Chain A
Amino acid sequence: MNAIKQKDLILYSGLIILGLAAPFLFSAFKVQLTYLCVLIVLAMTWNLQGGEMGYNSFGNILFYGLGMYLTASVQVGMFFPLAEWTESGGEKTFVHTTAQYFQGISVGLLVAAIVPTLVAGAIGYAILGLRGHYFAICTLGLGIAAGEIAGGIEIIGAGQGFTTPPFPAEIVDPEARGQFFYFLSFLVLVLAFVFVKYIYGSRFRLILNAIRDNEDKAEAMGIQTMKYKIVGWMCSAFFCGLAGGIMGGLIGYIDSTDVAFDGREMGVFMVLMAILGGKGTLWGPVIGATLFHFFKEGLWTFILGWQYVALGVLIVVIVVYFPEGLMGWLREKYPDRFGEVIDEKDRKAQVEIK
């Protein structure tokens, strides 16, 4: 037991050191790495309720987009009239000082974490009463509706889009912006990982799994499933909001349907990444997101124009042939290496019963 823990310690400290050193080692890839961190956070927290709870949501993008708009609105609204910032194509120019920028973004991120969590709590009771594919389609509708509606609201820029405050001009170093956002996203990644890891060792996860495997029985056992489902969704929403806030600042321009409530890309990517790596595992989404990002950035640009065909084929192949994902496949192939022999048999037996 101790030996494993020591190995874990080496692994984690190694990864953290790598993470901290990364922006200096690969200076040119800083922004790519920031994207990677955000993608991992999204995949990991999607997995919490998609993989562990069995509620496959296409709607986590709702919290992501909400976080993005909130961060930007708070960052602007704290110091300037928001309506004037967004109205008439930005005819007036406001400039944040360095202190204002950072104050704004920290408060903004705080709001971006809290509000989506509350929203998830508020709509959770209604939405989480749906099961299976109805839940999936309903959340898909929710995400797209949010984008369309946001595109009609004047104060956040409507169809004009929302230009987030530019990084303070007083910081001359062109690398500073990339580093700031990288470390911010890395921090969130570490937070999310620690949190998810904690959940994996807790009773909460078992309850979520019980809901996934058979909700009616779980309820019959006396578990208040609705309560746990809502809490599970709120956990996802918290991190999605944060991730959205960071992305908004990094991209610098928020468009309602293409950047914020980007259900057709981000919303599906997070599901895909989690499935690619393996639903219902701790490392699965991390590996899935990493592979996905490398694949996308590596191959994408060499198949100019054909990338969406490749993506579509990839989705079909993954979903049809590897629904268990990479970790699931590894686990099936080498069950002993996961040290879960007994669980494994049990799992297989269950699969057969199904």
Chain B
Amino acid sequence: MVQASLDGILLGILFALIAYGMALQWGVMNIINIAQGDLVILGGYIAYTLFIGIDLTLRFKGIEIPIVIPPIHPAWGVIISPIIMYFVGVGLYKLVINKVVDRDLFISILATFGIAIVFQQLMNFIFGADVVVAQSEYGTTMLFDNSVTLPNSKIFAAVISVIYAIALVIYMKKSRLGRAIRATAQNARAAKILGVDTEKVYAATFGINAALCGVAGALIAITLTLHPYVGLPYTVRSFMIVIVAGLGNLPAVAISGMGLGLFEEFADYILGTEFRIGAVFMLLVFILVYRRFKLSKKREYLK
């Protein structure tokens, strides 16, 4: 039980990081990003690439350009992956997302679903469908006379998540861009009138979200396994955390993230592993229905 609780909490912190990105883009740009989980996996693959290194030769019109990057420790992924992912995010924004920002939410759901499929398939081509892992060789912390084990990689993941989350909060509060993002979230039109380049803000927001996914992905590469097709459960988890916690409420996001992690581990224990993912999705349904009934007493509905 202690084992399950600790596993759940450590996992939950990681989910919360992904969920924070989700909340950010939802709050600022009013889009729901189904490709969130796939961005995470892509981030993980970047860390994995660092871990195995790159050694290939580009041939272009007879000129051979060797590209050799020696393998480095995958933990560097938590720094390098978000940098790359930021540009992926901005690129994605310029390509597709900017066309769905002011539209119906359903359009953003479907469009990002399309993006998710493309990402999955491209990752399948580039990295192969093999399940891969990046070895951190971090060892394990044992507690209570070896009855409870905590892989150091999981602790590392939780610590890094917390650091990034705090850094982001400070950035949002203090920096110019952070203020612009918050202003846009409150009222995009007013922000525009007051001279905020909302287009730039949107691009930056999506980029930051992608960068967060990059961090989370790198951590997942170290703690769990990577596969091109496991993105969707991460999307659903982050969505769930956001609807429980509300938009832009970081402590609540962190708590409900841990709550979800706990719920998963215990569902696994009590219902059996076969129902674990089913339980997550059912929980989503129940939370939505519960909130709907609560609001309908006041003749309101979820907006």
Contacts and interface: CB of A to CB of B under 8 A. Distances in A.
State yes or no: do A and B touch (Cβ within 8 Å).
yes
B292 A148 contact: no
Contacts of A271: 110
A272 B107 CA distance: 11
A178 B285 CA distance: 39
Contacts of A131: 301-303
Interface stretch (A168-176, A196-204, A305-313, A338-346): A305-313
B106 to A, nearest CB: 5
B293 interface: yes
B117 A141 contact: no
Given A141-B285, A309-B122, A315-B113, A148 B107 contact: no
A133 B99 CA distance: 18
Contact of B236 (A141, A264, A314): A141
Given A141-B281, A315-B113, A320 B100 contact: yes
What's the interface size class on A, roughly? 35 or more
Interface residues of B, number: 45
B192 interface: no
Interface in A9-53: none
B32 interface: yes
B232 to A, nearest CB: 8
Interface in B130-145: none
Interface in A288-315: 305-306, 308-309, 311-315
A316 B111 contact: yes
Given A129-B292, A306-B121, A316 B114 contact: yes
B109 A138 contact: no
A126 B289 contact: yes
Contact of A132 (B96, B106, B110, B289): B106
Contacts of A147: 278
Interface stretch (B59-67, B218-226, B269-277): B269-277
A134 B275 contact: no
Contacts of A314: 114
> 7 closest pairs, A vs B, by CB?
A315-B114, A148-B278, A312-B118, A145-B281, A312-B117, A152-B274, A316-B114
Given A133-B105, A134-B292, A312-B116, 13 more contacts: A131-B302, A132-B106, A133-B106, A133-B109, A137-B239, A142-B281, A148-B274, A264-B232, A305-B125, A308-B121, A316-B118, A319-B111, A323-B107
30 contacts: A56-B106, A127-B289, A129-B301, A130-B288, A130-B289, A130-B301, A132-B105, A133-B106, A134-B292, A134-B302, A136-B106, A136-B109, A137-B284, A138-B285, A141-B285, A144-B278, A148-B278, A149-B275, A149-B278, A152-B272, A309-B122, A311-B114, A312-B114, A312-B115, A312-B116, A312-B119, A314-B114, A315-B117, A320-B96, A320-B99
